[in-house]
Homo-oligomer: A and B are copies of this chain.
Amino acid sequence: MELYNRQQIQDVVTLDRAALEAVEAGFRALGEGNVVQPPILSMAIEESNGEVDVKTAHIKGNSRFAIKVSPGFFDNPKLGLPSLNGLMIVFSARTGLVEAVLFDEGYLTDIRTALAGAIAAKHLSRADSRRVAVIGAGLQAELQVAALKLVRDIDTLDVWARDVDKARAYAMRMHQTYGLETIVHETVADACREADIIVTTTASRQPLLSGEHLPDGVHVTAMGSDSPEKRELDTSVMERADHFVADTRPQSENNGELKAYAGHQPPFEVLELGQVVASGKSPRTTDAEITVCDLTGTGVQDTAIAGFALGRLAS
């Protein structure tokens, strides 16, 4: 059994095409019905404003699977500690023996979450997409764009965030690091007006994006909502979309944007990202159609990225 720390993992796993293909293969297997993926185990530690989630999945036939434990303790910043944390345990799928523990402190979650955004854009956005609007200015605001660059020739970044100073700092960083033309906007509407792709990356509990903000032909990835309290999209976004895709429908209903339709059928078809990847063709049929993808984070992404990481670490 091997133990690896965050630095060792960061040294070998980055946002590259091979990592993207590994996570994409996980979604493909999910769409083909070749994945066992139980519901998320979730526990609140109310007195510390904390929660812990456990996610797992097994891709049938794979020699390994991973279990990820993600604590989120939201008063940690007051103590000078990060809110998010965690580790992944990699097991042999033949014997159940532990092959490795990846003490990645949430790093692999950041990576596989960004890659899922890129996978969504690869299969749903217009191939000529160049201009991205990002709502939010946190870590995923950066990683989502970095991952998008693997699949689309992004050159322009429009930014809106609640905290304008953070929005400016983020835009500056994205300009310096990735050479993007960046514009900070005062409203969500302004940020989205020219977008080919919109990515919402916030922990908002109220919808930030409305259907009226969407230009024709845009693709929207909403990756912020991952719990029963959070929500980024007004129902008008989904109802305006020509194609709505969830990473997994039950999770979107519990933790994602479909919770807006709690208890009743949404007035549109719900596709799953794995099905789209497995089908090999985009549901988009014209450049004017609007696509929306809701990402809540799935166990198969964790199993895929952990197996990928261990492959690189152990070689």
Contact = CB atoms under 8 A, between A and B. Distances in A.
Interface of A: 1, 3, 36, 38-48, 50, 52, 54, 56-58, 60-61, 65, 67, 69, 71-73, 76, 79, 81, 85, 87, 89, 91, 93-98, 101, 103
B47 A36 contact: no
B69 A41 contact: no
State the main secondary structure of chain A at its contact with B: strand
A96 B38 contact: no
A85 B97 contact: yes
8 contacts: A1-B103, A38-B42, A38-B43, A45-B96, A50-B95, A67-B69, A81-B97, A87-B89
A71 B90 CA distance: 12
A98 B93 CA distance: 25
A94 B56 CA distance: 25
Given A39-B41, A41-B41, A87 B98 contact: yes
Nearest to A40: B41
B48 A76 contact: no
A78 to B, nearest CB: 11
A79 B98 CA distance: 16
Report which residue of A39, A45, A103 has the largest number of chain B beta carbons within 10 angstroms of its beta carbon: A45
A42 to B, nearest CB: 6
Contact of A56 (B47, B52, B91, B93): B52
Contacts of A103: 1, 98
Given A41-B39, A42-B38, A101-B101, A67 B54 contact: yes
A137 to B, nearest CB: 24
A40 B40 CA distance: 10
Given A41-B56, A45-B58, A103-B98, A50 B93 contact: yes
Contacts of A50: 93, 95-96
A58 B72 CA distance: 15
Given A50-B93, A73-B96, 11 more contacts: A3-B3, A36-B45, A39-B41, A40-B41, A43-B56, A45-B65, A47-B61, A52-B65, A52-B96, A71-B97, A72-B96
A89 B69 contact: yes
Contacts of A93: 45, 47-48, 50
